[in-house]
Amino acid sequence: MILYITSEANSDIFNCICKENNIIINKLNKIFDLNTLFSNNNYEHYQILAVDLAIVSNTDDEILDFFLKFRQLYDAKIIIVAIGKKVGDLILSKLVSDGIFNFITSEDDFLQKEEIKTCILGNNGYKDCVKFKIQEPTKEIEKPNKLDKIKDFFNKAKIEKQPKIKYQQEKIEPKPTIIEKEKIIEREKIVEKKVLVKPKINKLKIAVCGVCERMGATTQAFLIANYLIKYGFNACYIEFNKKDVIKNIKNFYDVLVDDKNRKISYKDLDIFANVTFEDLPKILSMNYEVFIFDYGEFLHTSEESFASADVRVVVSGAKFWEEKYIQNVFKICHIYNDINFIFNFVDEDEQGFILKNMEDLKVYFSDYAPNIFKIYNEKIYNEIFKDYLIFK
């Protein structure tokens, strides 16, 4: 079933294909503010939400925010009707960056029908709409296929010993660091550290998942929460998978339980266990600055849902039997250049080889982290969140 927010001019473009394929379509042609859709309780029975940008009065940022919230609540396919918009259009570029790939833009009747057929009966990927993404000018360098290089790593019988490298290759620009003010008093050096950290955007959403089960995604989600809380952020952890194991924390720690809000609190961290799509609106309306979603296994979440987060983290190992799972991430998630890959339990002798074969990707190696409520990986998280946090 399709819900179509449409202008009068484009209201009939789906009629033919819906009739041919017995697809029910409901049209709304008086919706000018997309956020009014949230006044309705439920859209779970719709498989597709199509929006004609010609009728929408929202700003670009409001449109992006609407789709972000909608995809957190529902697993429907998003189709953007943008008749006449061309390559270089800013809103289309932003939508591609946010993981929305189904566009109908052609003014030619034949080409438009082909676009409609593909969007409704099929599904576009990143490669199909990358032309709409406004790229920053970069120097082209021919590189080998990343999937082949990763496969070579896992199949390699012997690995040359590499220098110890723990984080991404050095960048020319300075890393975000905490500024230190120095004073010299009677030959004793006193270092004062003043930390003022503020988010660059409101309600930062972080998605964490593992390439397969038992990869340590939940551990990384909690460690990220500890890091952000250390700097004074009001963050919450959301168990957004079907494992339903976080509730057992009550048997091991002296926690506070808020049954009314289905919330568990421990050491300044609020924890929401076994969260469903129906629970999200209430949680997202709460006064948190950061929402950390634990998706569990990557293959159990949709590409669009994962792509809708502001920061994406994939946790992996480097054993030969784990090779096929990390390849699945590359094949399914077309935005993998934006993903932060955190590897667990990798020998230092192998880290250099992984970095070399995943060059230009964001690769990190986690510290040994036996306690999920302590601070680990601080340098890694400084790097991951440098685009979203301001260190003064």
Q: CA dihedral in degrees (214, 215, 220, 221; nearest 10)?
A: -50
Check if the beta carbon of residue 344 is closer than 8 Å to that of residue 198: no
d(CA 104, CA 17): 14
pLDDT in tens, 181-191: 333 333 333 33
CATH class in words for 2-132: alpha beta
Per-residue pLDDT at 167: 43
With 80 as the cut, is the pLDDT of residue 179 above it? Answer: no
Q: Do domains 2-132 and 147-391 have the same CATH topology?
A: yes
Per-residue pLDDT at 105: 93
With 60 as the cut, is the pLDDT of residue 162 above it? Answer: no
Q: What are phi and psi of 207, to 5 degrees?
A: -110, 130
CATH of 147-391, picked from 3.40.50.300, 3.40.50.970, 3.40.50.620, 3.90.550.10, is 3.40.50.300
At position 366, the amino acid (one-letter code) is: S
Q: DSSP code of 176?
A: P
pLDDT in tens, 224-249: 999 999 888 889 999 998 888 888 88
Check if the beta carbon of residue 217 is closer than 8 Å to that of residue 207: no
Between 356 and 156, the higher pLDDT residue: 356
pTM for this model (two decimals): 0.54
Check if the beta carbon of residue 282 is closer than 8 Å to that of residue 291: no
Per-residue pLDDT at 360: 75
Q: What are phi and psi of 189, to 5 degrees?
A: -90, 120
Between 255 and 191, the higher pLDDT residue: 255
- Predicted confidence band at 293 (pLDDT cuts at 50, 70, 90)? very high
Buried b (16+ CB within 10 A) or exposed e, 200-236: eeebbbbbbbbbbeebbbbbbbbbbbbbbbebebebb
Listed by start position, the domains of the chain span 2-132, 147-391
Per-residue pLDDT at 190: 38
With 80 as the cut, is the pLDDT of residue 268 above it? Answer: yes
At position 40, the amino acid (one-letter code) is: N
With 90 as the cut, is the pLDDT of residue 36 above it? Answer: no
pLDDT in tens, 60-95: 989 998 888 888 778 889 999 999 998 889 999 889
Between 388 and 187, the higher pLDDT residue: 388
